[in-house]
Structure 1
């Protein structure tokens, strides 16, 4: 007899009896006494402590329609030990065979799966929250949610412990969240707040939340987090407690590099690195890293860049930079698609740190962080203009420093920052500035920043670094965001002076003044052509960018760089399907003094969770009269991208995960023949051998091919790149990892080849 299953069944029968007790109006925790048995984190709510823990079950539907009663019963129980919060969550399901519970990579618990999400705001102001999603198979995704952008960042990872178990009538999870992984003030803090969400991905994806007053009119998803009752004097007891984590890592690497210019080079190297985290008390965290190795970090997906005038940013994935990322500053794009926060600090500007030190403080009404590190360099150095980004190679062995502090005065938040990059030999860049946010009621938010820069580092015509007379610049930005039951608006105005530079930030365009607006009418659910639309919108995007005078680059003031007029639509339907599109009645100028070209395009996109096998599809295509930047003319062309993901079970409790990215762009010349073709592709295959072991293969390729064009003075071009990455990874406990890998890269022209074998072991103490 399966006594575990019998115990789970008896527990399921016992839980409804708790309905005879008064219903909780907010989540309430039970404090366990010293010496009392703690639950085993196995996903089963059969430990003795759960039998007397208060049960909360006031869930309401948020998606597809808000303010509706929850159709699936979900209960939440919370235990408090001397060092952790422990959540026990039971998810009932009348059709348990339809629960989607694949094995997944870390941070890949998405809307196509059944999951439970827990949001915690230990500061209590609902400006940000730490979150963990636990899938029905025990997969974990975690990160930070920022109210200012109403968006999540899954890059930060926390030392949590989670498990799930399937039951005859649903599933249950246990989540142990150590207090050492929570960031809260030492004194005068507001009550901790929490929200639990449950995702049910059927024909109509449903998301239920434990905050019954939350609705889609809110400026952010965490606007209605509820106070967590039952903590008593826990905060006072643990705020002086010190936590220390030490993670040494050993990497063995063998490399062979070759090129036409440099010949062949071979090396073998053993490197020892470490990360150290010390929380001396609740409001302080000190991080240190020595010789970190990021060989196990997943490759960035390739982007179409052959017809792009400006540099492209990529997301951060390295652990050292992700502690308290919300204090560094917002990291997500707003609803207009812009990401201005990277102008202040862009961690990917730090290429290869030798060592780094960082301290973060978080109070009840203020917070601050400061970091300093030494970068081995060799990455990309950017110098922007109104029509293009110039790029060079970073000098090696630079010192990078950044500090930001923010204080909250009711609905007004004000911050100041300083950023320094010293490359030696008199080459340095400094930035100082201030940013702020004002929450003007429940529907309106104002944001902005002013950054001032000074630099003695420039690039010559060949992209080589050179010492220059000190240049100064500024960047000013203001934005208004409105959201209510009828309409949403995002309005931005900004000015970036020609010589603004930040070598700790991301600056892809300067010497411009821009105004943009993106808004939509919320038209709600309806039926169209026999299709039930859960929601639909009429959208409009407007933007105009004009040049500022830039004598150094020979740019006259007042030239239109781009003018966008894009009426569009969006609607949501079954299987978490979204469809969008717009007509682009736009104009673009490729170079100073050049023609302002009319570009007329049609864009259509969609994303969906079609089923359990093909679990995610995203595609977008823009077709019409597009600008060929290098040739400075318009031709018929396409810009498109497709992403598809599949998951399938294999014999022996294995899971196979397949993910494919494709990108394709081209523009025709005046004779109707193809002027250029830009392609990118990435194939990712993950074989999950167990919840702790996986084999990952990534293969990606890029190619930009241009036909010779004498009329435009363009030579033939054929640039190619191939990358292969194979890695086996085994996890022991929470943070002990053994990785074995192979990386191979090839590029043309130049016959560049790079081959690497590595073995890495990371421990945790």
Structure 2
């Protein structure tokens, strides 16, 4: 090779790299402000001719920055009020486009395009906006500090989608008033990534910029976008009045009688206020809110589980800006609050600092009483005050420091928690996360009498206090990842505002993984992972020792499968339940479990999956080892663009001495008809059937119990805050005394809310 050719190749390579690093210029188009854009997916308006073109040219997953298999062109511009983005997504066979009418935030399996925005250009948070080929929206906030993504955030923005003869088109308008950014700058420099998800035999993630797998921070690798000169955030003010009305009936049913239905009528107005006090500080307030969630929880089986179950928060007030309260340990679990009269939330950000404050009362007080082997649920028929304060300072791009404090109190009860946390990431592959906490608690004298087992021993009317610590080192590169972590909670540590069902333990955890990538038609990623952990209580008594190994495979037809082995030594229930001692008061059992699961999406709109576990399993109630088996199949089937069937079943059984201990069956069936982007009708049926063998269980047991819950729900949404719900629900049960399923609760309800944005 001649020196001239070599020089030209080097210069060409440098030019190509510079071109890839070039900023995306967001032009301001004055004609847009004059009404030149209608969000209808028709891109014929003249203003689009002056927008900046951005090619979505790279396949970043499962490939590694190879040329995209299909052509996608995006256009970006702004007018001082909205950020406009359009996509032309070409497809060689438009009949294979996977798009369905769905409820908001339910489009992860579809053909879709997306926008990721880091409006502070600091690689800490990113807004995410996704739109499928029919214009259905999904949005979220990605938090690089905690490595989590919150789909709970719902912005009010505009989109439309349309399938064409050559693919599909999407048009988007994002109000600048909805975004947080530093409007004191003359012009903005943001991070921007434009995306297309192309699900066929595999789900391709196509991007406007390269993503290097050696760097786990994907926000850091987004392209820079400049523009929005003179953009300001108005002190926007939103009023959301709501009206909830309905009627509910309850009755007591025994083997001898069925009491008459008792009817309660409900008519409750409420008001939510959202005020952008400054461009970076927002206030949410609510008066007499309807905190009841609209849609039924996902069904769970609790038989032979010793700790309180976790349920996802679905109520809008708690979800808004929830990521501001996140910290390394889960200290804010708002499902603990059942029925507040009023609440307020203040969140803000100034340069590298962020803060959040939340306060609400509650008509009653419910919290988890944790232990090291089991937990209980406490209920106080007392009003309570609840608050959370969170602060974080990103001192440098590498170092973040934070503080958090939570409070719950009522008559003769309180729980206060406060602490500090840190994240230090000295390069792309290595980071250290730490948190220290202290709690102070007191319980009313009568509470212990309401509880049983370990929970009754863990409450005391005398004030108690203790500390907790968390330390986690993580390394992640293209192929390798490993971590070492420590989590310790003192005997009297409590975090009643959070989801912390276990206390009085010290846990050491170490794990790692290695992954291979392939361009094969049959598989594209193989991952081998394993971990080991050991847990003692505060008196250094062994609670659990566990080793796991798992192999995971991603392949054709969007398939995923895993195979795992677990060996776990764990203590059973206490022989003398009146003392908390472990040594000499419990037996150590060895569980050996085999896990397998798979999922596949062979055709548009069809998802099939299952998980299974089998092996030696602790029978906690009877303090012995048994033979356990669990199978959980799942089906999601879009029969057409509007009608979807979702079915999930859990089968769990345990035998001891070759004789059945219990068998549990649970079915969660949901039928949805999505009339359009805005409205749907959904029927949910949740059925459980639990059998327990009285001859192979200690103490009294209910031999057969069944429950059936049903809900019919209609929804119409103009946007996440302007909506209408109407529905009917009921619950029925049967047991050893009542042979047939008998309704005991039923209700009808209606809710209407409207957002005035001033």
Q: Normalising by the residue count of structure 1, what TM-score does the alignment of the two structures yield?
A: 0.89
Q: Which residue of 2 aligns with 1:544?
A: 534
Q: Which residue of 1 aligns with 2:200?
A: 202
**Does 2:563 match 1:576?**
no
Give the Cα–Cα distance (whole angstroms) in 1 for the partners of residues 648 and 48 of structure 2: 45
Q: CA deviation at 1:204?
A: 2.3
Q: Which residue of 2 aligns with 1:397?
A: 383
Give the Cα–Cα distance (whole angstroms) in 2 for the partners of residues 217 and 581 of structure 1: 26
Per-residue CA shift, 1:481-537, capped at 9, x if unaligned?
21112211132211111111122111101111101123211222276xxx7220101
Which of the numbers 624, 630, 634 marks the counterpart of 1:639? 630
- Counterparts of 1:230-245 in structure 2 under 5 Å? 230-234=227-231, 238-239=232-233, 241-245=234-238
Q: CA deviation at 1:247?
A: 0.8
Structure 1 SS opposite 2:335: helix
Q: Which residue of 2 aligns with 1:32?
A: 29
Q: Which residue of 2 aligns with 1:137?
A: 134
Q: CA deviation at 1:349?
A: 1.3
Query: 2:63 touches 2:519 (CA, 8 Å); kept in 1?
Result: no
Per-residue CA shift, 1:120-148, capped at 9, x if unaligned?
11122111211111001111111111223
Give the Cα–Cα distance (whole angstroms) in 1 for the partners of residues 290 and 104 of structure 2: 19
Which of the numbers 94, 111, 115 marks the counterpart of 1:114? 111
Q: Which residue of 2 aligns with 1:595?
A: 587
Q: CA deviation at 1:216?
A: 2.6
Q: Which residue of 2 aligns with 1:763?
A: 754
Q: CA deviation at 1:434?
A: 1.2
Q: Which residue of 2 aligns with 1:681?
A: 667
Give the Cα–Cα distance (whole angstroms) in 1 for the partners of residues 292 and 414 of structure 2: 29
**Does 2:335 match 1:348?**
yes
Q: CA deviation at 1:251?
A: 1.0
* Residues 502 and 158 of structure 1, relative CA distance in 2, 3 Å threshold: same
Which of the numbers 703, 721, 727 marks the counterpart of 2:689? 703
Give the Cα–Cα distance (whole angstroms) in 1 for the partners of residues 301 and 99 of structure 2: 34
Query: 2:56 touches 2:195 (CA, 8 Å); kept in 1?
Result: no
Structure 2 SS opposite 1:51: helix
Question: For this pair of structures, how many residues does the alignment match?
Answer: 709
Q: Which residue of 1 aligns with 2:490?
A: 497
**Does 2:618 match 1:627?**
yes
Q: Which residue of 2 aligns with 1:18?
A: none
RMSD, matched Cα: 2.3
Which of the numbers 389, 404, 407 marks the counterpart of 1:420? 407
Query: 1:150 touches 1:221 (CA, 8 Å); kept in 2?
Result: no
Moved more, 706-715 or 139-148: 706-715
Which of the numbers 145, 148, 172 marks the counterpart of 1:148? 145
- Counterparts of 1:240-319 in structure 2 under 5 Å? 241-260=234-253, 264-295=261-292, 297-319=294-316
Moved more, 247-256 or 720-729: 720-729
Per-residue CA shift, 1:364-419, capped at 9, x if unaligned?
110001011111236x4211111100222243321111110000011111111111
Give the Cα–Cα distance (whole angstroms) in 1 for the partners of residues 697 and 155 of structure 2: 57
Q: Normalising by the residue count of structure 2, what TM-score does the alignment of the two structures yield?
A: 0.89
Q: Which residue of 2 aligns with 1:16?
A: none
Q: Which residue of 1 aligns with 2:51?
A: 53
Q: Which residue of 2 aligns with 1:160?
A: 157
> Structure 2 stretches of 5 or more lacking a match?
1-18, 574-581
Q: CA deviation at 1:573?
A: 0.3
Structure 1 SS opposite 2:675: strand
Structure 2 SS opposite 1:536: strand
> Structure 1 stretches of 5 or more lacking a match?
1-21, 331-339, 550-556
Q: CA deviation at 1:748?
A: 5.1
Q: Which residue of 1 aligns with 2:440?
A: 454
* Residues 85 and 322 of structure 1, relative CA distance in 2, 3 Å threshold: same
* Residues 685 and 627 of structure 1, relative CA distance in 2, 3 Å threshold: same
Query: 1:367 touches 1:406 (CA, 8 Å); kept in 2?
Result: yes
- Counterparts of 1:156-235 in structure 2 under 5 Å? 156-185=153-182, 187=184, 191-212=189-210, 214-234=211-231
Moved more, 720-729 or 100-109: 720-729
* Residues 747 and 450 of structure 1, relative CA distance in 2, 3 Å threshold: farther
Query: 1:525 touches 1:532 (CA, 8 Å); kept in 2?
Result: no
Q: CA deviation at 1:540?
A: 0.7
**Does 2:79 match 1:84?**
no
* Residues 619 and 401 of structure 1, relative CA distance in 2, 3 Å threshold: same
- Counterparts of 1:471-510 in structure 2 under 5 Å? 471-510=464-503
Query: 2:156 touches 2:719 (CA, 8 Å); kept in 1?
Result: no
Give the Cα–Cα distance (whole angstroms) in 1 for the partners of residues 697 and 480 of structure 2: 49
Which of the numbers 355, 360, 363 marks the counterpart of 2:350? 363
Per-residue CA shift, 1:298-323, capped at 9, x if unaligned?
22111121111111212121111122
Which of the numbers 665, 689, 694 marks the counterpart of 2:652? 665
Moved more, 474-483 or 451-460: 451-460
Q: Which residue of 1 aligns with 2:5?
A: none
Give the Cα–Cα distance (whole angstroms) in 2 for the partners of residues 185 and 315 of structure 1: 33
* Residues 313 and 190 of structure 1, relative CA distance in 2, 3 Å threshold: farther
Q: CA deviation at 1:295?
A: 4.7
Structure 2 SS opposite 1:437: strand
Per-residue CA shift, 1:219-249, capped at 9, x if unaligned?
2332312221222332xxx14x211111111
